[in-house]
Amino acid sequence: MSQKPVELLLNRELSLLQFNRRVLAQSLDAGVPLLERLRFLCIASSNLDEFFEIRVAGIKHQIKTGSPQRSADGLLPPELFKLIADEAHALVEEQYQAFNEVVIPELERAGIRFLRRASWTPQVDAWLRHFFQTELLPVLSPIGLDPAHPFPRILNKSLNFIVSLSGKDAFGRNTGLAIVQAPRALPRLIRIPAKVSGGKDDFVFLSSVIHAYVDELFPGMEASGCYQFRVTRNSDLLVDEQEAEDLLEELEDVLEQRQWGDTVRLEIAHNCPGEMQHYLMEVLQLSEADVYRCNGPVNLMRLMAVPDLIERPDLKYPPFVQKLPAWSQGDLFAAIREQDRLLHHPYDSFTPVVELLRQSAKDANVLAIKQTLYRTGAKSPVVDALVEAARNGKEVTVVVELRARFDEADNIDLAERLQEVGAHVVYGVVGYKTHAKMMLIVRREDSGLRNYVHLGTGNYHPRTSRIYTDYGLMTANVEICKDVHTVFHQLTSLGKAAKMHRLLQSPFTMVSGMHAKIDREIKAATEGRPARIVAKMNSLVDPEMIHKLYAASQAGVRIDLVVRGMCSLRPGVKGLSEHIVVRSVIGRFLEHHRTFYFENGDGGGKGAGGSEPEVYLSSADWMERNLYRRVEIAFPILDKKLRALVIEQLMAYVDDRAQSWVLRDDGRYERASGGGKPVQTRLLETLTTVDEAAGAVATALQLIRSSRKGKGGKKK
């Protein structure tokens, strides 16, 4: 290799911004239904929030402490921060350009309006003034800034206004500035009754209402300017696990700190005067590079609720019915004993997973249930079934990962709920997040005790199983069940790492196991035999894995990578990675499953030694945290028919030319050319039923409701 090692890697943070750019592009795609385009605009905004809360916050902390640590691609923290700021400012500008010039005008043409103050009719103005006086004014607490009223603490990502004032108040004070904080309980969007505005789907932003009537907050004074702003803070929780006597109590103590971390970003109205901006920068201890001027709402996520508020099936993705496999509609233990079963979400329903737990909770022959929980949601049927099992006298052991970012509070609640019914709740291993998705059921049968296992690539979360693509394997394979039992023993007890029969496990055998499989493909290529690797994951940033893939490419191994988000591998470089193609698929569903294919043969299905292709599914991306600092598993698909099905579906992603983006060697992505149906559409048509009846019913109901209303929205 002639390049320096750092020149072989793309920067992970810049790669993540490129992912957000691909998400934003969906909002401009005329082939995506209009309200779904609005969702993508909101998702891009939400992604940027987390990017600043975690990624940028970490880099700014390094700068603050003078850290000399370079990124994997050789950049010092100040150098990286400048590149990020340049890219992020451009991305935010593109977001608001898409919002103002494309999405909002198209929504208006479709009859969905966000009314600007200049367009308010006297009727709208009167209605909103009454709303302000009765609903907003009683809960707003404006703060005039003077020595007795210092600049208030600004809650992370809250909506605030800085107001310039003239005149004196009742005490003769003339401070000139005030801060208005909008409580989080207030709606960020206000729907205007059709009889008031004349439009069925008319909305006004809360910020517009406060701007319009801000004078009423300061009687006898004049507000000469009112500008919205929002502050983003460092939201990474710092918990000393080694010193904590009780991790749950320690996390409860530090959760509140998330709202008050160091300031990272200031979003402010685009027309805010320079002197006000610099005042905010000074009090918040931020620089010019940290300021993002927004030509619209400072938080586009406020619009995320709109698609659900509007009954316009013609502007949304068509409904579909998740498949409920025939084998799952009876005795699940018998079905799994018969053969391995595979679920592919969201095309397959998540119901069989919940039903397996429910049957286990009621089955007198089930003795024990062990499960990992990472993200399940606040109200989870999975937790309900585990609670029922514990109440029914089963030995229920649950490994709850309290440190699942932004789900810590929900996980604390469910851990306490499980403990209350007598379940054994542990929090994994100090220093290692438990990210593996596993369920183990121990059942007494005529032949003795038998184990049943569910292994997944995604969380035990019924809601996300409708919008994330994931696999779930149900099996009674003795070796796999033994391995899962071993992992649970590691998580709940003490002892040396035991040998695995079928699973690969982080932090012990995942890297060495994957390296061995890549080396086998390298050997095949050097011996003139067909060699191929296809890997699908969320992120690829681990330098060691990347250099192993470079070695495989140099040996002539054909490598196709489908990486949704961050990718530090630089593809298509002559003499280094010319046999590697990297794609990213962005669409209706969030691509979440990790699938790894190794040809292991002569290209005809079997190698010279009678071997067959290997396929592993996993919860682990190829990131340093997943490979070295988490408990993760990768599990093989041993059933030939199921393996062939997974391979067929994996190759559909590789062949996609309608929904994928191709990574260039400079880190930029280009939309694939060639057309055809998007891979997710093909899988929907193949694996589910598009619910045309449901769509027709929704449209009919919409027409009926419209026909019942006369002018001004009155019912006939």
Residues forming the active site: 435
User: Cα–Cα–Cα angle for 72, 77, 83, nearest 5°?
Assistant: 90
Distance of CA 276 to the CA centre of its chain: 35
357: left (phi over 0), alpha (psi -120 to 50) or beta: alpha
Q: Note whether 83 and 289 are within 8 A (CB).
A: no
Phi and psi of 630, rounded to 5°?
A: -135, 160
379 token code pair? 């109200």
Structure tokens at 673: 């050319």
Quote the tokens at residue 592: 């979440």
Q: Where do we find the tokens 């969702």?
A: 39
- Residue in the structure block whose two tokens are 């004014």: 137
String of b and e for 660-672 (b: at least 16 CB within 10 Å)? bbbbebebebeeb
Contact 180, 214 (CB under 8 A): yes
Number of Cβ atoms within 10 Å of the Cβ of 675: 8
Residue 164 DSSP label: E
3-state class (DSSP) for residue 476: coil
User: By C-alpha distance, which of 472, 499, 471 is closest to 483?
Assistant: 499
Cα separation, 89 vs 527, in Å, equals 50
- Tell me if 260 sits within 8 A of 236, measured CB to CB: no
90: left (phi over 0), alpha (psi -120 to 50) or beta: alpha
Cβ contact 317:36 at 8 Å: yes
If phi over 0 gives left and psi between -120 and 50 gives alpha, with beta otherwise, what is residue 488?
A: alpha
Q: Name residue 82's amino acid.
A: K
Pick from 617, 655, 643: which is nearest to 535 by CA? 617
Q: Rg (Cα) of the chain, in Å, rounded?
A: 28
Between strands 669-671 and 112-114, the pairing is unpaired
Q: How far is CA 511 from the centre of its chain?
A: 25
Two tokens, residue 676: 């055809």
d(CA 456, CA 617): 8
Contact residues for 272 (Cβ-Cβ < 8 A; gap 6+) = 162, 225, 227, 229, 293
166 SS3 class: strand
**CA distance linking residue 660 with residue 680, whole number of Å:** 11
Q: Which residues contact 349 (CB under 8 A, 6 or more apart)?
A: 322, 323, 324, 328, 343, 465
Beta-carbon contacts of residue 7 (< 8 Å; ≥ 6 apart): 73, 74
What are the structure tokens assigned to 637, written together? 């698909």
For residue 352, the tally of other CB atoms under 10 A from its CB is 22
The C-alpha torsion from 582 through 586 and 589 to 595, rounded to 10°, is 0
Taking the C-alpha atoms of residue 488 and residue 440, their distance in angstroms, rounded to an integer, is 9
Number of other CB atoms surrounding residue 712 within 10 Å: 12
Tell me whether residue 684 is exposed, middle or buried, using C-beta atoms within 10 angstroms of its C-beta: 0 to 12, 13 to 18, 19 or more: buried
Q: Residue 421's closest CA among 456, 391, 455?
A: 391
User: Rounded to an integer, what distance in angstroms lies between the CA atom of residue 695 and that of residue 234?
Assistant: 43
Q: Which residue has the tokens 């590789």?
A: 654
